[in-house]
Structure 1
Amino acid sequence: MKTTFHAGTALRSALIIIIAVLWFVPTYLIIVNAFNSNEGYTGEVAWFPQDFALFENIAIAWRAANLGPSLMNSLLYAVVAGALAVLVAALAGFAVSAIQGGWRTFWFWLIYSGALFPAQAFLRPLFTGYAETGLYDTRWGLFLIYIATCVPFSFFIMRNHMLSIPPEINEAAQLDGAGWWTVFTRFFLPLSKSALAAAFIFQFVWVWNELLFGITLSYSEEIRPVMAALAGLQSNYGTVGPPVVLAGALFVSLPTVIVFLLFQRVFASSLGGAKI
């Protein structure tokens, strides 16, 4: 028994180390090569920094891709779309967890199925529909698609959390004459603060890092998100050089890394114990 336990523990530790190394090596190479200057870049991957031109590369990327407006756009999209999606998901999660009915499983799978289909499947109809309705290259258009794509997984988080709330709270509130809206706003929402925070942060990170819809449904600098602007910088590969592209990628990734590190405990406490 002890031998099996130790063998299993050693195997798990080895797998964790291998996965950590596989994740760390590409990240390390990105950081190291972002430090190198364009003049010193030879076309080969550097394993150790040869220059200290990171801030110079970031400045070049900022000017070449005009990252200022796109950073503000991504901040706006991530905050507004994330907040509205979590609110809609909380309402839907309350409906399928607290309100009795024979269709709760059906509604769960119907809403959650939106997180199961690849985004590429929606690109052609979305592009055609946006072009015909005037939503193409507009903030409203990006808001709509970001909210729609953020709802399913946020709903999954909120529904699972609300299932853990004791049903006696709901029953006692209704015996006192409270309606569904009162039960939701005065009891379920205050008890779901950690799940709301986790869902919002998760969607903030997703919207910030999203590229596919950004480059498909927008093109102007006043509308496009930051990842689309960074993709435009990469298309000018021969002009700015790979170190500048890597430095720009590191710079625009900092907000999501900081948010995740600050709120990782919220993720762990809210995403555990998922139910289907």
Structure 2
Amino acid sequence: MTAPARSQVTGRALLLLFMVLTLVPFVTLFSTALQEPGTIPTGVSWPSDPHWGNFADAWRVAHLGPLITSSLLIVLGVVPVSLGLAALAGYGLATLRVPFGNAIFLLFVLGLTIPFESLITPLYYQMQQLGLLNSRWALILPLIAMYMPFGVFWMRAHFLAVPAELTEAATIDGASAWRAFLHIHLPLARPALSSLAILLFLWTWNQFVLAIVMVDDPLKRTMAGALGAFQGQYGTDIVLLSAGALLIMAPTVLVFVVFQRQFTQALLQGAVKG
């Protein structure tokens, strides 16, 4: 066997191994969700009498219907604003001569190194002073701010990869920086924006810790915050928890499957270079 053939076989074997390692937790979760409610399953085994009604029970116990609406409202409040601000800031730092632009970008990069958990306590007291606790704004505003470092880094890398000749040609034709952004750079940034939107959607939809801390009303949280509904006084119903976790993950998996081509296209076009 030639070296290229061995390399190809090795690559496919590694991909198959990673695929199996990725699917095993989902298979385990699915088999657990079909067990008899109230039991504590051990190992991975297909039940002789699958309890498909566990998914309906989990939907009812966790009030997932209202939580879908709440999650969509939070996503609609976070993702479009984050995309707009990240695109504007990334374009300014990559294309325009912004005073102290490198120092500003360095501050955004430093923001990527701050542990999320260390921000929970100061955010709680800040939202309390603003009178926003137990409202969706207590999730929307902090999430927009926390997504900015990565969003600006992502979009700046994309705009740096755009040939400078396009901007120069637009300037010669009399286009302002704002017009060049709207009519030239923004259309070219669709793959980067769509992939960033997918990431922001996934992070927002699956937000758990911030939803639990900032919002007391379970119906104003994200769907991931509904996992606490399966915690009883004397223990946790593992079966219903597994069924609820699968229901909560279903929209994110569906979004990634539908838009995976756009996400891959953004990576291949150099959206993370720079």
Q: TM-score, normalised by structure 1?
A: 0.89
185-194 or 244-253: bigger deviation? 185-194
Asked whether the 8 Å contact 1:157–1:271 carries over to 2, the reply is no
Matched, 1:98 2:114: no
Tell me if structure 2 keeps the 8 A contact 1:35–1:50: no
| TM-score normalised according to structure 2 size | 0.89
Matched, 1:17 2:16: yes
Deviations 1:111-153 (A, max 9, x none): 2332332210101111122222212111112110111122222
Q: Distance in 2 between matches of 1:218 and 1:30?
A: 28
Distance change in 2, residues 1:143/1:101 (3 Å)? closer
Paired residues of 1:70 and 1:224 also in contact (CA < 8 A): yes
Distance in 1 separating the partners of 2:215 and 2:242: 23
Whole-angstrom CA distance in 2 between matches of 1:50 and 1:75 = 37
CA contact (8 A) 1:112 1:152 kept: yes
* Deviation at residue 238 of structure 1 after TM alignment: 5.3
Q: Does 1:45 align with 2:43?
A: yes
Q: 1:63 to 1:90 in 2, by over 3 A?
A: same
Change (3 A) 1:109 1:13: farther
CA contact 2:63–2:219 (8 Å) conserved in 1: no
Q: In the superposition, relative to structure 1, how do residues 199 and 19 fare at CA in structure 2: closer, same or farther (>3 Å)? A: same
Structure 2 counterpart SS, 1:255 = helix
Q: Once structures 1 and 2 are overlaid, which stretch shifts more, 168-177 or 82-91?
A: 168-177
Q: Is residue 249 of structure 1 aligned with residue 256 of structure 2?
A: no
The offset of 1:158, in angstroms, is 1.6
**Structure 2 counterpart of 1:189, which letter?**
L
Q: Which amino acid is the alignment partner of residue 22 of structure 1?
A: L
Instruction: Select which of 260, 263, 266 maps to 1:267.
Output: 263
Q: Which residue of 2 aligns with 1:32?
A: 31
Please give the root-mean-square deviation of Cα atoms over the aligned residues, in Å.
2.3
Q: Is the 8 A contact 2:40 2:238 kept in 1?
A: no
Give the match's secondary structure for 1:189.
helix
8 Å contact from structure 1 (residues 86, 199) kept in 2: yes
State percent identity of aligned pairs: 33
Equivalent residue letter for 1:200: A
Cα shift at 1:17? 3.3
Instruction: After TM superposition, give the deviation of residue 82 of structure 1 in Å.
Output: 0.8
The one of 105, 117, 126 equivalent to 1:108 is 105
The answer to whether the Cα contact below 8 Å between 2:35 and 2:239 also exists between their aligned partners in 1 is yes
Which of 222, 228, 250 is the matching residue for 2:225?
Answer: 228
Q: Which runs of 5+ in 1 are unaligned?
A: none
Say whether 1:170 aligns with 2:193. Answer: no
* Other structure's SS at 2:43 match: coil
Residue 179 of structure 1 pairs with residue 176 of structure 2: yes
Native 8 Å contact 1:82 1:200 kept in 2: yes
Task: Map 1:85-164 to 2 at 5 A.
Answer: 85-100=82-97, 103-164=100-161
Residue 18 of structure 1 aligns with an amino acid whose one-letter code is L
For 1:116 and 1:267, the matched residues in 2 are separated by: 24
Residues 247 and 215 of structure 1, relative CA distance in 2, 3 Å threshold: same
Aligned partner of 1:69 among 62, 66, 69: 66
The alignment partner of 2:105 has SS state of: helix
Task: Tell me by how many angstroms 1:42 deviates.
Answer: 5.0
Pairwise CA distance, 1:250: 0.5
- Quick one: distance in 1 between partners of 2:70 and 2:100? 39
Show the counterpart of 1:79: 76
The aligned length equals 272
Deviations 1:229-250 (A, max 9, x none): 22x2232285772111111110
Shift in alpha-carbon separation, 1:9–1:101, aligned structure 2, 3 A: same
